[in-house]
Amino acid sequence: MQAFAQAQPNIALIKYWGKRDLELNLPAVGSISVTLDTLWTRTQVVFLDDAEEDLLILNGEPAAAEQQRRVSAYLDLMRAKAGVQTRARVDTENNFPTAAGLASSASGFAALTVASAEALGLALPPGELCELARQGSGSAPRSLFGGFVEMSRGRLDDGSDAVAHQILSPEEWPLEVVVALTSLSPKSVGSTAGMHRSQESSPFYEGWTRTADADLGEARVALASKDFDRLANVSEFSCLKMHAVALASRPPLIYWNPATLQALERVRQLRREGVPVFFTIDAGPQVKAISAPGYGGVVAKALGELDGVQDVTTSGLGPGARLIGS
């Protein structure tokens, strides 16, 4: 009863922010992301007959109580599917900073879904894996797939249509992603709490949900025609609109620091100079620059030269979550 899986973080181009059902963790809006290749989470799950409690080890150390609880609650869903009570030891490792706005919850729950399903002998279709992963984290179903992925909002109350699917494989449009780290500390307000606050208090939240489908439609058209400028424009729009909703929450959610703005401006300048690149920012201060194939090096160099940028990581697009051993 053990398995080892790997998943990569994904970066949303069209953002998920807000929930239509808290209990089932159903998103209020659909989203479109790219799955990365060089950043990863590797997770081994071992179900042990004699264990009294679940144990989560994160990068070699026992994880914080809150993370233990979240993983244990998630394993309860998997155990209910398999009809067992057995507790598990989960060993998980990230090759990038946890909770710093790099979607560690997405790759974490995608890897945990694939590893725990295998360890419990559950052969589940992709839709069911999505439904499970989504209850761990709303962005996790997107990391089950590679390349460009759409996560549907769904219409049904039971969430069975709130699932993800691949739009384009990494090979079909091998864009490059440069992550500029502007801070290594964990973010102050996580996505779950942040989107809840926006939903409760931001006067722009209603406009956000009302206009989301138009952005998704435009991004789908851009992807179908591999129209970089069109994808760039709608992605930056979705990102800034999400941050406008967050900024107007009470109390405000200001995820940016001065270096975030510096990096954002540098990306805009590069684009004016003719480099095909655009920015996106999640619930944290890091700037992700997405470029056309072959431009990652130029972008990484430009962002790495900025004073406030601590580190840059370049990645291509990669595959979805998969088993890598036992």
Q: Give the residues lining the site for ligand DP6 (CB under 6 A).
A: 12, 15-17, 25, 31, 103, 105-106, 137-139, 191-192, 282-283
Instruction: Report how far residue 104's alpha carbon sits from residue 114's, in angstroms, rounded to the nearest whole number.
Output: 16
* Nearer residue to ligand DP6 within complex by CB, 127 or 304: 127
Burial status of residue 214 (CB atoms within 10 A of its CB: 0-12, 13-18, 19 or more): exposed
Q: Which is nearer to ligand DP6, 188 or 269 (CB)?
A: 188
Of 317, 324, 325, 326, which is closest to residue 145 (Cα–Cα)? 317
- Cβ at position 246, least distance to ligand DP6 in Å: 9
- Cβ at position 105, least distance to ligand DP6 in Å: 5
Distances (CA, A) of 204 to 199, 246, 299: 9, 9, 33
Structure tokens at 87: 């507790």
**Closest residue to ligand DP6, based on beta-carbon distance:** 138
Distances (CA, A) of 234 to 178, 229, 293: 19, 9, 19
Give me the least distance between CB of 181 and ligand DP6, in Å please: 16
Which tokens hold the place of 95? 């090759």
Structure tokens at 147: 């390349």
- C-beta of residue 271 within 8 angstroms of C-beta of residue 298: no
Give the three-class secondary structure for 137: coil
264 close to 257: Cβ distance less than 8 angstroms: no
Q: Which is closer to ligand DP6, CB of 54 or CB of 215?
A: 215
Q: What is the nearest approach in angstroms of ligand DP6 to the Cβ of residue 61?
A: 22
Q: Which amino acid is at 258?
A: P
CB of 284 vs ligand DP6, minimal distance in Å: 8
Strand partners, 287: 180
Based on CB atoms, which residue is closest to ligand DP6, 75 or 302? 75
* Cα angle 247, 27, 248; round to 5: 10
How near is the Cβ of 196 to ligand DP6 at its closest, in Å? Answer: 8
Q: What's the closest the beta carbon of residue 101 comes to ligand DP6, in angstroms?
A: 8
Q: What are phi and psi of 258, to 5 degrees?
A: -55, -35
Considering beta carbons, is residue 6 or 191 the nearer one to ligand DP6?
191
